[in-house]
Amino acid sequence: MLGHLIRKCGSALTRAGYKKGDVMAIISPNVPEFPVALLGAASVGMPVALVNPTFTPEEIARQLTSVGASVIFGVAPMAEMLQKMAQMCPSVHQVILLGPPQEGFVCFQQMLQDSGDLFNDNVDVKDTFILPHSSGTTGLPKSVMLTHANVGVNVSQNIHPRTSKNQMATDQYQEIHICLLPFFHSYGITGMLNIGFDLGAKLVTLPRLDVPSYLKAIEDHKPTLLHIVPTLAQLFIKHPALKMENFERVHTLFSSAAPLGAQTANNLLGKFNKPDLLVQEGYGLTEMSPGAMQTPLNNDHLGSCGRLISRTKAKIVDLESGKTLGPNQQGELYMTGPQVMKGYWNNPQATKEMIGEDGWLRSGDVAYYDEGGNFYIVDRLKELIKVKGLQVAPAELEDILSGHPAVVEAAVIGIPDEHAGELPRAYVVRKPGMESVSDAEIRTYVDSKVSSHKQIKGGIEFCDALPKNNLGKVLRRELRSQYAQAK
């Protein structure tokens, strides 16, 4: 049935004049039709840009413009915003809408009435499949080119029987996964959607995190595996009345996107008190499709981010000398494997900075490994902030802050938060004579221009000058140190 709908969607796109290389942008919550649009476009050679539907119109417009999107897929409740997006981006020719027919939109349901005769799967495994957004190790967000081969290989790596307790569907058994984490995120698109398809799993989509709906879905569908992030782990641990009978079939709680921590993992095991429950953590980057490491299948080494999955190599490099280090020595983590991205879309310089000529990809994370090959993340070299597993680029917020008439310069760091993991905090230098401008005024200015997870909820601190090195680069580590000492 799914393959039949994919052929119809691909044929309809071809009939509308779209060709191999044209970009479709999906701006949608998790809905059952998401994979039909995704695979319908991708199967006829159209790279698919994955866009966070909670972004502001300005943020979405920047992403669509950067990839030159030709067509948008979205849902009816977002119609007005999608129309505005199309007007802001000259490259966009049409907006496909999931919902009742509306003037000015292409109806997705009507597209699926296509005969399918123009479907032409002339896709090479080296062609770009998806374009998720990432900030890399530094700078503004960029679109990551992940090929069909990248994602396909990473699916196989992540469900290898020595890596995962997931099982292929049979007449007697089927995995059941609750798809709560967003498909626009690499964890959601590969870890849940594509892996789920490969397993023949039953996938239950939820459009947003609504705790009662999430717990009701668990009760109704009795999942076998739950994909979580640390925020959801805390929800389970602290919820006063979880119905444990609804979790009887769960064999794995799989966490990624942000460090889980040994204490949280042990708290989960204590909460569920199931002898056969696996609390597993994965590590990766969008640029790695995204998986690179997973913890063992026996709950050993809780607190590590795992061991390398198949066909993946890693090394720890000294931050000063660039020499490769041995066990229990801290340095920057580099990785390579068949899941390493093709590069950043239309950004060869950023690609060159991320991937060396030898194919090793910089993680931007300070890490070490022990004699057993278990890796541990110590710190981040990269500027990226992770709020509830979502990326926030300091450069993006700093650019907005600099646009305020009272601001000379600003720097943004992430500060620890029990619920979100991190929150953005800004250090601002005001222009002479503008000292009366309050932090509330500046925060309102920034927060009105960004989506919720990017808002400066960690506060604003005014200062006379930002700490910098002799090349004028802001020393964020000093700002983090100042914040830690003040606490």
- pLDDT tops 80 at residue 379: no
Q: What is the pLDDT of residue 182?
A: 94
Torsion 335-341-342-343 (CA) sign? negative
- pLDDT tops 90 at residue 319: no
- Judged by average pLDDT, the poorest of 136-140, 285-289, 371-375, 431-435 is 136-140
Quickly state the pLDDT bin for 397 (edges 50, 70, 90): very high
Residue 482, phi then psi, degrees to nearest 5: -60, -45
Quickly state the pLDDT bin for 383 (edges 50, 70, 90): confident
Q: What is the pLDDT of residue 90?
A: 95
The residue-averaged pLDDT of 91-99 equals 98
- pLDDT tops 70 at residue 307: yes
Q: What is the pLDDT of residue 471?
A: 54
Q: Average pLDDT of the chain?
A: 94
Reduced 3-state DSSP string for the chain: CHHHHHHHHHHHHHHCCCCCCCCEEEECCCCCCHHHHHHHHHCCCCCEEEECCCCCHHHHHHHHHHHCCCEEEEEHHHHHHHHHHHHHCCCCCEEEEECCCCCCCEEHHHHCCCCCCCCCCCCCCCCEEEECEECCCCCCCEEEEEEHHHHHHHHHHHCCCCCCCCCCCCCCCCCEEEECCCCCCHHHHHHHHHHHHHHCCEEEECCCCCHHHHHHHHHHHCCCEEEECHHHHHHHHHCCCCCHHHHCCCCEEEECCCCCCHHHHHHHHHHHCCCCCEEEEEEECHHHCCEEEECCCCCCCECECEEECCCCEEEEECCCCCCEECCCCCEEEEEECCCCCCEECCCHHHHHHHECCCCCEEEEEEEEECCCCCEEEEEECCCCEEECCEEECHHHHHHHHHCCCCEEEEEEEEEEECCCEEEEEEEEEECCCCCCCCHHHHHHHHHCCCCHHHCCCCCEEECCCCCECCCCCECHHHHHHHHHHHC
- pLDDT tops 90 at residue 487: no
Q: What is the pLDDT of residue 399?
A: 83
* CB-facing half-sphere around the CA of 274: CA atoms within 13 A: 17
In one letter, which amino acid is 246?
A: N
Give yes or no for a contact between 309 and 291, defined as CB atoms under 8 angstroms apart: yes
The per-residue pLDDT for range 416-432, each reduced to its tens digit, is 998 899 999 999 999 99
- pLDDT tops 60 at residue 470: no
Q: Which long-range contacts (CB under 8 A, 24 or more apart) does 377-383 make?
A: 377/259, 377/283, 377/305, 377/333, 378/330, 381/137, 381/319, 381/332, 382/135, 382/136, 382/137, 382/138, 383/135, 383/137, 383/138, 383/139, 383/476
Dihedral angle, C-alpha 205, 210, 216, 218, nearest 10 °: 60
Give the pairing type, strands 252-255 and 225-228.
parallel
The residue-averaged pLDDT of 107-125 equals 96
- pLDDT tops 90 at residue 70: yes
In one letter, which amino acid is 126?
A: K
In one letter, which amino acid is 384?
A: L
Q: What is the pLDDT of residue 466?
A: 92
The residue-averaged pLDDT of 104-120 equals 97
- C-alpha closest to that of 339 among 485, 196, 151: 151
Q: What is the pLDDT of residue 238?
A: 86
Residues sharing a CB contact under 8 Å with residue 303, sequence separation 6 or more, in sequence order: 261, 262, 263, 265, 376
Give yes or no for a contact between 63 and 39, defined as CB atoms under 8 angstroms apart: no
- pLDDT tops 80 at residue 402: yes
The residue-averaged pLDDT of 332-353 equals 97
Give the pairing type, strands 48-51 and 24-27.
parallel
Q: What is the pLDDT of residue 191?
A: 96
Residue 221, phi then psi, degrees to nearest 5: -110, -15
Quickly state the pLDDT bin for 97 (edges 50, 70, 90): very high
In one letter, which amino acid is 350?
A: A
Domain annotation for the chain: domains and CATH numbers: 2-123 (3.40.50.980), 142-380 (3.40.50.12780), 387-486 (3.30.300.30)
Quickly state the pLDDT bin for 389 (edges 50, 70, 90): confident
Give yes or no for a contact between 443 and 460, defined as CB atoms under 8 angstroms apart: yes
Whole-angstrom distance, CA of residue 404 vs CA of residue 441:
10
Q: What is the pLDDT of residue 142?
A: 94
- pLDDT tops 70 at residue 234: yes
- C-alpha closest to that of 452 among 133, 52, 76: 52
Quickly state the pLDDT bin for 140 (edges 50, 70, 90): confident
The per-residue pLDDT for range 237-288, each reduced to its tens digit, is 989 889 999 999 999 999 998 888 898 999 999 999 999 999 999 999 999 9
324: number of Cβ within 10 Å: 12
The residue-averaged pLDDT of 321-350 equals 97
Give yes or no for a contact between 388 and 346, defined as CB atoms under 8 angstroms apart: no
